[in-house]
Amino acid sequence: MSDLAVLRRLTALAAPLRGHFALAGLLGVGTLAASIGLLATSGLLISWASLQPPLLDLMVAITAVRALGISRAVLRYLERLASHDAALRLLGRMRSRVIARVAALAPAGLEGWRRGDLVSRLVDDVESLQTVYIRALAPPLVALGAIAVALAIVVPLAPRAGLVLAAGLLGGGVAVSLLALRLGRAAGRRLADARGALATAVDDVLGGAGELLLYDRVEDHLDRVDAADAALEHLQRREAWRAGLVAGASAALSGVTVVAVAAVAVPAVADGALPGVLLAVVVLTALAAFEAIAPLPQAAQQLSDALAAGRRVFAVLDAPDPVADPPSPQPAPQGRVLALERATLRYALGQPPALDGVDLTVSRGERVALLGPSGAGKTTVAEVLTRLRPLASGRATLDGIDLAELAGDDVRAVVGLVEQQPHLFATSLRENLRLAKRDADDDELAAVLARVRLDRWVAGLPEGLDTTVGPGGAQVSGGQRQRLALARQLLRDPPLLLLDEPTADVDRVTAAALRRELLDAATGRGVLLITHELPAPGEVDRIITMERGRVVGEATGAAPHQAVGAAT
Dihedral, CA of residue 288, residue 291, residue 292 and residue 296, to nearest 10 = 150
197/314 Cα distance (integer angstroms): 18
pLDDT tens figures, 539-568? 888 999 999 889 888 888 666 566 554 444
pTM of the model: 0.68
State the average pLDDT over residues 3-23. Answer: 82
Phi, psi of 394 (to 5 degrees): 85, -170
pLDDT at 278 over 90: no
What is the rounded average pLDDT of the residues 90-108?
81
Band of residue 78 on the pLDDT scale cut at 50, 70, 90: very high
pLDDT of residue 310: 81
DSSP state of 231: H
Mutual orientation of helices 218-270 and 279-293 as an angle, nearest 10°?
160
Domain boundaries, the chain: 3-317, 337-567
CB distance 502 to 514 below 8 Å: yes
Query: In a 3-state reduction of DSSP, which class is residue 190?
Result: helix
Mean pLDDT lowest among 81-95, 442-456, 470-484: 470-484
Per-residue pLDDT, 568: 45
pLDDT of residue 32: 86
Q: What is the mean pLDDT of residues 417-427?
A: 84
- Per-residue pLDDT reduced to its tens digit, 292-340: 777 777 777 777 777 777 888 888 888 888 888 888 889 888 888 999 9
Neighbours of 409 (CB within 10 A): 12
Distance CA 552, CA 550 (A): 6
Q: Provide the 3-class DSSP secondary structure of residue 317.
A: helix
Distance CA 43, CA 33 (A): 15
pLDDT reported for residue 506: 66
Answer with the residue of higher pLDDT: 370 or 212. Answer: 370
| Average model confidence (pLDDT) across the chain | 83
Query: Are the beta carbons of 108 and 388 closer than 8 angstroms?
Result: yes
Identify the residue with better confidence: 186 or 389: 389
Q: In 10 A of CB 506, how many CB atoms?
A: 17
* pLDDT at residue 59 in the model: 85
Predicted local distance difference test score (pLDDT) of residue 561: 61
Judged against a pLDDT cut of 80, whether residue 389 lies above it is answered with yes
CA angle 366, 372, 374 (to 5 degrees): 130
Lowest mean pLDDT among 29-33, 35-39, 86-90, 300-304: 300-304
Answer whether residue 207 shows pLDDT above 80: no
**DSSP β-ladder status, 542-547 and 526-531:** unpaired
**Relative orientation angle of helices 279-293 and 138-157, to the nearest 10 degrees:** 170
Q: For residue 288, which of 259, 258, 318 has the smallest C-alpha distance?
A: 258
State the Cα–Cα distance between residues 515 and 478, nearest whole angstrom: 13
| DSSP conformation letters of 88-125 | HHHHHHHHHHHHHHHHHHTTGGGTTS-HHHHHHIIIII
d(CA 103, CA 435): 14
CATH of the domain spanning 337-567 = 3.40.50.300
Query: Minimum mean pLDDT among 315-324, 364-373, 382-391, 523-532: which range?
Result: 315-324
Tell me the three-class secondary structure of 326-352, residue by residue.
CCCCCCCCCCCEEEEEEEEECCCCCCC
* Strand order, beta sheet including 337-345: 355-363, 337-345, 393-398, 401-402
CA distances from 293 to 108, 165, 254, 272, 468 (A): 48, 12, 9, 32, 49
Residues 259, 250: Cα–Cα separation, whole Å: 14
Query: Quick check: 221 and 201 in contact, CB under 8 A?
Result: yes
Could you give the dihedral angle defined by the CA atoms of residues 227, 231, 233 and 239, in that order, rounded to the nearest 10 degrees? Answer: 180
Q: Do 298 and 182 contact (CB within 8 A), yes or no? A: no
The answer, yes or no, to whether residue 86 has pLDDT greater than 70, is yes
User: Which residues are within 8 A (CB) of 108 and not within 5 positions of it... i.e. 6 or more apart?
Assistant: 322, 323, 383, 388, 389, 390
pLDDT band for position 343 (cuts 50, 70, 90): very high
* CATH T-level fold of 3-317: ABC transporter transmembrane region fold (1.20.1560)
Structural element, H or E, at residue 186: helix 176-207
Read off the pLDDT band of 181 (50, 70, 90): low
| pLDDT tier, 75 (very low <50, low <70, confident <90, very high otherwise) | very high
Task: Kindly indicate the confidence band of residue 154, based on its pLDDT and cuts at 50, 70 and 90.
Answer: confident
d(CA 384, CA 359) in angstroms, rounded, equals 13
Long-range contacts, 147-155 (Cβ 8 Å, 24+): 147/173, 147/289, 147/292, 147/293, 149/29, 149/32, 149/33, 149/36, 149/37, 150/36, 150/285, 150/286, 150/288, 150/289, 150/292, 151/289, 153/36, 153/40, 153/281, 153/285, 154/261, 154/282, 154/285, 154/286
